[in-house]
Structure 1
Amino acid sequence: GSTSDRPYQVFDDMSAMGYDLNVAVSYDIEFLRHLRVGEWPRHYTTVVNISDKKTTSLGVGYFVTERVEYTTDASDVFAYANITYFQYQAVAVETASSTSGPSTDATVDISTPTMLDSSTLALDWSCAKSGQALAEWKLPITHRLIVGGALATQDFVPVHHNAPAARAAGMPDIFMNILTTSGLVCTYLNACAGEGGLIRSLQFSLMVPNVPGDIMTLQGQIEELTKVDGVTEANIVFAGKNGLGMHTQGSALIEISN
């Protein structure tokens, strides 16, 4: 359940056992409807799975999956999510410190805030077809974007705003949290869908981090187009790549306004 008393108890307990680092690895959400102005969202979280001990390139630890129910103050459910985190002990410092930064030749100006313009991404769905590519969206990754996204999603884990903490966790710098990635993916998909489009479900996994000084390119493709009761639905596969490699990849079901 969700309470103000130790809402992250499972992670607190694992931290006390020595597994004191946390990174999100996958996100699966189903939207039943959009929120309306004036509604107050709430969420209730249940731990549904804890894996056996696993060894990864980040370190040794456990994958923890939470089931989240999102409701309004009137107890009207508007979304469900399964979110998986890796709670772990980092690899040895000498190995972690060798992690390189983004291998991109792009120069990112971080002196001024960057507006993320998605206005050119809309697709003409009247002539869309299966296999068609969506427009690319290039996103400069800056400290402001990463810290701002963490603050906006109330994620105060140090690795998203404190560079020494991130490096101690085996990362080259602070890195983007899962909810900022989710928001950017949703912005991309909504822009491609056009006015009146609705994301019904979204699934994605995280791989290499988004770190400052890089550029993430989001790309998508229509996998299948169907009509259900006169409503057009599009199955989309997408990926976000940066200078380190694949940051995220997943799929979405979008309802298109005819």
Structure 2
Amino acid sequence: MNILVTGASGQLGNELRERSNLYKTWNFYFTDTAELDIKDLSKVEEFVAANSIETIINCAAYTAVDLAETNKDLCYAVNVTGAKNLAIVAANKKIQLIHTSTDFVFNGVHHLPYKEEDVANPLSVYGSTKLAGENEVLAICPNSIIVRTAWLYSAYGANFVKTMQRLGRDRDALNVIFDQVGTPTWAGDLANAILQIVATKKTGSEQRGIYHYSNEGVASWYDFAVEIMQLSEIDCKVYPIETKEYPTPAPRPAYSVLNKAKIKSDFKLDIPHWKESLKKCILAIQNEQ
């Protein structure tokens, strides 16, 4: 099976690459903008045809949440037009498309974990474009799968874990928001889940539509930061602050915990708790240093 992975230099793309050698009969094509610009429909058509692609895993996204408030055109081009182009080609070629999305499609006023059928109402340009991308994918290629995730981190690239480690080593104390609640998600676990979905779909299963995936458990950014310092053995005091004390250009959902019952049932996934996965990621970071 020939699999195209877009956005391959990002956190999820790198975790997929790391696991690709476990699938000996699958041939992966890892691309980023330099190899394949998904904003250009003709380029996508050419690449898929030339390489006989049978599955597309779209990890490409404009994810700079605050910069998106002013870089609206680029954010839209990647998150909406790019997703639409992949869906057009997938539909025309009758190939599998797995598209990644975000908890930021919700406004965060819920008090129970969000289910896939809950009404989306994004607060930011980033969230709005990701929702628009979802809608394009589902309208054009209804057999596709959309996986929404949250609070992604890994040993690759820039993310909250590595930022906290860097700041914690430089400072005696940090202030971190405690009134935004979600679930930290290791991109390695998400990569495993997506590859399991690909394997299941290969058998001709009928699952389609939107799914939620994050690690298990619930945390605030403050809780997350405290755990990072403890596991990294960094002597830095973390103090809780309210969102209003740390204003950002783009508003964030106050509560974006995802209900994962559907994906666990349909794809027989065993999802680890976020603290267990954080231990694995921090060990991976330490091994790279």
State the TM-score, normalizing by the size of structure 2: 0.30
Structure number with higher helix proportion: 2
Structure number with higher strand proportion: 1
